[in-house]
Structure formats: structure tokens, C-alpha cells
Amino acid sequence: MRNSLKRKSVSYAKYGYLFSLPFVLAYAIFMLYPTIYTLIIGFTDLKGVATNTWQFLDEPFKNFQKILTNKTFIGSIKTTCIIWIMNFIPQMLLALLLTAWFTRRKVTIKGQGAFKVIFYLPNIITAATVGILFSTFFGYPISPANAVLKMFGKESFYFLNDAWASRIIVAFIQFWQWFGYTAIVLISGVLGINPTLFESAEIDGATPSQVFWRVTLPCMRTILIYSLITSLIGGLNMFDIPKVFNNGAPANATMTSSLFIYTQAFTGTYQYNRAAAASMVMFLLIAVLSVFVFFLMRDQYDAKEKRQIRRMKRQARKGMTV
């Protein structure tokens, strides 16, 4: 594909610049400038609410040193990872399962359009609302959840004051809000695959599960990478739900790194400089992880994908002439 482009590259190159110009400009103005500003703050003494002036520190990395020995910050990274994993694994498994069921060509589930619409519903609601709703559901000593416990003769339980209960609930909210999204993204990925691929597989006598594992899944490589990376990034930036649900409590059990950075920068003593340093640490961490995932997935499927694209293009051409 890329080879075929190279022939024409010289005459059309300017359109590449032209078409990406709006993006680049908007990004530079609305993101890059504020981002660089944030990075610089990491090396300065900027803290305190009414402070507008700042100087570079004599020891430039002092904020980074402080933040790397900050127990609460390190703990918040662990918490973030724990909550993300507890949410992502079941979310991905369920989304894949739904994708397999919903894209099976012969044995369709009736009303799957309606199911898809319903599964995506939780994602549409403002995170703040969902957080409040769930913290009400799990209130103590009176709440729907505790009413259920009482029905079974159990003592009422202080969910919001229990580290693991809180984490599980936060992870569940994330799962609940996002499994529909992931499923829709994966399904749309499958539906974007050239149908002739499936038809030829069926003619060859492949069973539905063979089609799913041998044709569907490999073709979804790009969409899977996308889902994994965005979920990872979203997970490591998790903010709204823990903030609204319990504001990081109990004892920082739901204090994610983003919430910690927010707490440090926007409340109390306004430690912009340390929060900026913490952000940069998170940035590095996220970058390393996603680059790792990106390369891992690419190497694994690179060869397969090239074959795939060639075949698809052949078939697409055939399909067009019919």
C-alpha cells in the first residue's frame, strides 16, 4: 500500500501539510502551549494560589526527587493500576464475547441493535451523576445495598470506608460504563472488515468459531490496539469517578494518580510545581507502556496483516467490478 503511494508522493505532498494544518494549529494553540508551560513549571518554584511569578530551582530536579519519594503519589500509581486491571480484564472479555455473538453471521441474536443501544447507555451519563448515584447506592448505614444485606440477615457494611470494597465498586463503575463502548468499537471494527472475506471462509467450510478466531480477530488488530491503548490511557488518567464517588477515600484507597495530581495542584496549598513534576512522571510511565504495547502487537501481527491487506485489496477489486 505504501509502495503504491510513493510513486505519486512528490506532486501531492503539499496536501499532506495543508490538510493537517488546522489540527496542528489548533493543537499548538490550545494544547502545546499549555503543555510546555506545565512541563516548565515542573522545574520551578511555582506554588501557592496567588503566585504569578516563578523562578527555576537551583536544583532543577528537586520537584521530581520530592515526588518520587512521595509515598502517597507512588501509592496512587499502584491504586490506579489495580483499579484499571480490575476493570479492563472483565470489560475486554465481555466485549469480545459480545462481539463474537453479535457478529456471527448465521446464528444471529435477535434484537441485537437494541442490545447494543442499551449496553452503551451507561457511557452517555455524566460521570459525576453516575458517581453520586453509586455512592448513594452503597451508602452506610442506610442504602439499597445495605437493605439487600439486611434481607439476608447480615450486618450493614460500610462499603465506602472499606479499601477493597471501594476499589471494586470504582472498578465496577468503570466496567459498567465502558463495556458497551468497547463492544461497539470492536463490533464496528468487525463490520468494517470486507464481508467477502467471511463469505470465502464460509465457502471453505469454516465453523463460526473458526471464522472468529482465524478471520475476525486477526482483522481486528488495529481496533484492538486502539481499544487497549485508549483504555490504558483512560485508566491511568482515571479521575471523574474516584473524585465524585469518594474523593480518593478511604485512606487513599481510590486515590488515582490523576486525582492526586489534581488534589496537589488545585486544592490546599496549590503545589503546581510538584503536581507538574508528578504529571511528567505519569506521562513517561504512560508513554513507555503504550509504546511497549504498540510494538508488541505490531510485531505479532505485522506479517499476517500484510497478507491480509493484499488479499482484501484483491477481493475488493473483484467486488467492485461485479
Partner 1 sequence: MKKVLSLVLALLMVLSCASFASAEGEKGVINLYAFTDEVPKMLQHYIDTHPEFGYTLNTTIIATTDGLYQPALDQALTAGGADAPDIYCAEAAFILKYAQGDMASYAAAYDDLGIDTAAAIEAADIAQYTVDIGTRPADGKVVGLGYQATGGAFIYRRSIAMDVWGTDDPKEIAAKIGPGWDKFFEAAEELKAKGYGIVSGDGDIWHPIENSSEKGWIVDGELYIDPAREAFLDLSKKLKDNGYHNDTQDWTDAWYADMAGIGEKQIFGFYGPAWLINYTIGQNCGDTAGDWAICEPNIGFFWGGTWLLANKDTEKKEAVAELINWVTLDCTENGLQYGWANGNIYGDGGTKDCVGSGTVMAMSDGKLDFLGGQNMFDVFVPANQYANGKNLTQYDETINGIWRDAVRQYTAGTMTREEAIEFFKTDVEDKLGIEAAE
Partner 2 sequence: MSKKRNKVKLEGTGFLGMFIKYAVCIILAILCIMPFYIMIVNATRDTYSIQQSAISLIPSNALMQNYAVFGEKAFDPLVGFKNSMIISTCSTALTVYFSTLTAYALVAYNWKLRNALFGFILGVMMIPGQVVSIGFYQFMYKLGMTNNLLALILPAIAAPGTVFFMRQYMLPSLSMDIVASARIDGAGEFRTFNTIVLPIMKPAMATQAIFAFVTSWNRLLEPMILLTRKENYTMPIMVSLLKGDIYKTEYGTVYLALTMSVIPLLAIYFMLSKYIIAGVALGGVKE
Q: Does 194 contact partner 1 by CB under 8 A? A: no
Give first-to-last CA distance, the chain, whole Å.
23
Helix ranges restricted to H, 237-271:
240-246, 257-266
Beta bridge mates, 56? 44
Q: How far apart are CA 9 and CA 5, in angstroms?
A: 6
**Residues 198 and 208: beta-carbon distance below 8 Å:** no
In the bound complex, what is the minimum distance in angstroms from residue 94's beta carbon to partner 2?
8
Q: How far apart are CA 220 and CA 225, in angstroms?
A: 9
118-137 residues near partner 2, rule: CB under 8 A: 118-130, 132-134, 136-137
Q: Does 64 contact partner 2 by CB under 8 A? A: no
Peptide bond into 90 cis (omega under 30): no
**Residues 250 and 160: beta-carbon distance below 8 Å:** yes
42-61 residues near partner 1, rule: CB under 8 A: 47-50, 52
Q: Does 206 contact partner 2 by CB under 8 A? A: no
Nearer to partner 1, 20 or 72 (CB): 72
Q: Which stretch binds partner 1 (CB under 8 A): 85-93, 106-114, 157-165, 284-292?
A: 157-165
Which of 20, 65, 207, 267 lies at the binding interface for partner 1 (CB under 8 A)? 267
Nearer to partner 2, 85 or 109 (CB): 109
Nearer to partner 2, 60 or 195 (CB): 195
- Mention every residue, 6+ apart, whose C-beta is less than 8 A from residue 79: 167, 252, 253, 254, 255, 256, 257
**Residues 169 and 82: beta-carbon distance below 8 Å:** no
In the bound complex, what is the minimum distance in angstroms from residue 257's beta carbon to partner 2?
8
In the bound complex, what is the minimum distance in angstroms from residue 115's beta carbon to partner 2?
5
Q: DSSP string spanning 169-195?
A: HHHHHHHHHHHHHHHHHHHHHHHTS-H
Q: Does 110 contact partner 1 by CB under 8 A? A: no
**What cell does 223 get?**
481496533
Which of 87, 143, 174, 216 lies at the binding interface for partner 1 (CB under 8 A)? 143
Which of 54, 115, 140, 158 lies at the binding interface for partner 2 (CB under 8 A)? 115
Q: Does 139 contact partner 2 by CB under 8 A? A: yes
**One symbol per residue from 72 to 91: x for binding partner 2 (CB under 8 A), - otherwise; what is it?**
--------------------
Q: Does 13 contact partner 1 by CB under 8 A? A: no
Q: Does 51 contact partner 2 by CB under 8 A? A: no
Q: Does 142 contact partner 1 by CB under 8 A? A: yes
DSSP 8-state code for residue 153? T
Number of residues that bind partner 2 (CB under 8 A): 120
In the bound complex, what is the minimum distance in angstroms from residue 74's beta carbon to partner 2?
17
Q: How far apart are CA 304 and CA 190, in angstroms?
A: 17
DSSP SS3 for 102: helix
Which sign, positive or negative, has the C-alpha torsion 250, 255, 261, 262? negative
Task: Judge residue 20's burial from the number of C-beta atoms within 10 Å of its C-beta, 0-12 exposed, 13-18 middle, 19 or more buried.
Answer: exposed
Q: Which stretch binds partner 2 (CB under 8 A): 69-77, 202-210, 245-253, 295-303?
A: 202-210
Q: Which stretch binds partner 1 (CB under 8 A): 68-76, 83-91, 201-209, 292-300?
A: 68-76
Residues that bind partner 1 (CB under 8 A): 47-50, 52, 70-73, 136, 139-143, 156, 158, 161-163, 243-244, 247, 249-252, 260, 263-264, 266-271, 274
